Amino acid sequence: MDALSNLPLSELFSSDFQLLKLSDQDKLGDATAKLVEKNVYSAPVCSADGAVLGLLGLSDVVHLLLQVSYDKFASVPLIEAMNVSKVNDFRTLKLTDSIAEAVKILCNVDRIVVVDDKNCPTHMISKMTVIQYLGKNPKALGDFGNKTLGESGLYSKPVKGIKGSLSVRSAFQFLLDHRIGGVAYYDTTGHVLGNVSVKDVKHCFGACGEQFLEGPVDKFINHIRASNLRAVHPTIHVSHSDTIIFVIQKFASVKIHRMFTKETGEERTIGLVSLGDILRGAATLL
């Protein structure tokens, strides 16, 4: 995997990449609407001169939604909302820095802001950004890509989750308390039904928003699935006999952040693998 140490971050992006930027003069309601419209998890917050001040992420939106009444949420100054959840430490890199450096940092944070010489943001790197690059360039993984998931041990077990009957408010609080972006939820028999993530917070606004927040997770996700055919809450599995490159390419193709694992030939879910698990494994070889 030495190749990643010699490749600049510019290799991760197409020439038509466009970055959503938020103003420090924005209010939280408007900023949240922009995140939802662009279908992104976070965006840099900039001062009047364009310099980056921090990040607003959906975890911050969730944190404030749980702390502030609905009628006051929209008017919260964005400058007070940046990283209020303390989930994602603010880190920056330059386009000339290496992909290997980004991989190491992404083991501990969700996103990195790429800045120019004036500290103005130009790009954003997420775990998925790197995973998609590796999926298209498997040779960069070297021998690591040919190891099986079972051999590498890059999964956690047993699967930690919540009951589907838990309230959406409590589920969101669970995500914040554990500094994670999503979690599996179960039925009464322990069968995994799907995932709830911070990205689902966008469905907690509007006429029924507060009602959803206090209702159970399973009904909340069922409503999303019924009302939005593009909504994705899959319980996708990979086998312990699958190679790392297969797992990476599956992550990249379905664009989700975690998949369940099972033994070859078995249907029972026994573990979980995430984008972070894969990048942490890669980082040990850099």
Q: Which tokens is 159 given?
A: 């699967």
pLDDT score recorded for residue 71: 85
What pLDDT, in 10s, does the model give residues 115-165? Answer: 999 999 999 999 999 999 999 999 999 999 999 998 998 887 767 789 999
Q: Is the pLDDT of residue 207 over 60?
A: no
Distances (CA, A) of 45 to 21, 52, 53, 78: 6, 6, 6, 8
Select the highest-mean-pLDDT range: 51-55, 201-205, 223-227.
51-55
Measure the CA angle with vertex 228, ends 237 and 222; round to 5°: 60
Contact 65, 73 (CB under 8 A): yes
Q: Which tokens is 95 given?
A: 């386009």
Alpha-carbon distance of 265 to 174, in angstroms, equals 33
What pLDDT, in 10s, does the model give residues 229-271? Answer: 455 555 688 998 999 999 999 999 988 888 888 776 666 777 8
Q: Is the pLDDT of residue 77 over 70?
A: yes
Q: If you write DSSP's letter for every residue of 163-222 in order, what string do you get?
A: ETTSBHHHHHHHHHHTT-SEEEEE-TTS-EEEEEEGGGGGGGSSTTHHHHHHSBHHHHHH
